[in-house]
Structure 1
């Protein structure tokens, strides 16, 4: 296959996968973000890279957002929301983090392929992305030509950007770029 054909195949996979995301789950998730005093995000590997993008955009919209593990991340409290991106919902370090957040009284949101995973069962909010991963596959997941969990990880990034557009609408932000540039990093 040529590069353009791969690109078309990947974008078709993303369209098929993201079209299957539940509107109700997304709306509930958005309300949880709106209700939280602060938002913490976490993931592992490439999922962490994607969810970091959501934290940055939340900050650009005026939310207080942190990436778990950074040196300036404060303690989580009962008025906060932890969002975890985990394809399997079973990553050990993230399960421990989810349990700790719940022990502290924080709300837990999970973006995952498997809503009935260990973290899915702990979560207050779940957005199911019917993608696939090389770790776990089942017949309900979308098939992919891509390696590993690429389809899931790309879906997390695009879903995050879509959530930001909806949050902008909910916060009645008319010119997103104007607000973004006020909070955009300027020490680059």
Structure 2
């Protein structure tokens, strides 16, 4: 089996029916949200920024935590975070702040038993190797560190966007109209 075939076989469990069945409740929560703020650290953070961009293209009031223009969250809003290995101190702190303000939290993770997903209102479990389990006998991927989880985040998020697009009745043309012209 060559590397590409092995990688494709590693991606399949993260796109299995039981994983994709989680998208409906997440899409529904996002569809009902006032504001949506997205956050993650490292490469997970890049995937969360990509999701925030697509949510904005859908017409959602979406922001990236840390940007100067990110508004406060309150009841009716959602903080969507990634905690692949189940725990990051910055993510845990932001979850506490958001929930203290009345916002709901959606956590994307590979480790649903971790402290951050356990504190979340809704969990999207993507089964994949993260940097927390990339050494010794715990290693399950040919990709380095958390690359498998991050690649699956991107793919799962694109499927989530398609579900949300249909729920909101947004056309591809309407999404394109929200794309920046400052490139």
Q: Is the TM-score greater than 0.5?
A: yes
- Where in structure 2 are the equivalents of 1:19-168 lying within 5 Å? 19=16, 21-136=18-133, 143-168=140-165
**Does 124-133 or 14-23 show the bigger shift?**
14-23
Unaligned ranges ≥5, structure 2 = none
In 1, distance between residues paired with 2:84 and 2:18? 14
- Tell me the SS of whatever aligns to 1:83: strand
- Quote the offset at 1:169 in angstroms: 1.3
- Tell me the SS of whatever aligns to 1:22: helix
Aligned residues: 180
Unaligned ranges ≥5, structure 1 = none
Residue of structure 2 aligned with 1:184, choices 159, 179, 182? 179
- Tell me the SS of whatever aligns to 1:78: coil
Runs of 4+ in 1 over 3 A off after TM superposition: 20-24
Instruction: Give the corresponding residue for 1:11.
Output: 8
Computed over aligned residues only, the root mean square deviation of the Cα atoms, in angstroms, reads 1.8
In 1, distance between residues paired with 2:17 and 2:133? 19
In 2, distance between residues paired with 1:34 and 1:101? 18
In 1, distance between residues paired with 2:49 and 2:3? 26
Query: Once the two structures are superposed, what CA deviation does each residue of 1:18-77 show, in whole Å capped at 9, x if it has no partner?
Result: 216434432111111011101110000000001111111111111110000011111111
In 2, distance between residues paired with 1:142 and 1:172? 42
- Tell me the SS of whatever aligns to 1:135: helix
In 2, distance between residues paired with 1:142 and 1:79? 40
Alpha-carbon contact 2:83-2:117 (below 8 Å) kept: no
- Tell me the SS of whatever aligns to 1:47: helix
In 1, distance between residues paired with 2:166 and 2:149? 25
Alpha-carbon contact 1:88-1:117 (below 8 Å) kept: yes
TM-score (norm 2): 0.91
In 2, distance between residues paired with 1:51 and 1:172? 23
- Tell me the SS of whatever aligns to 1:74: coil
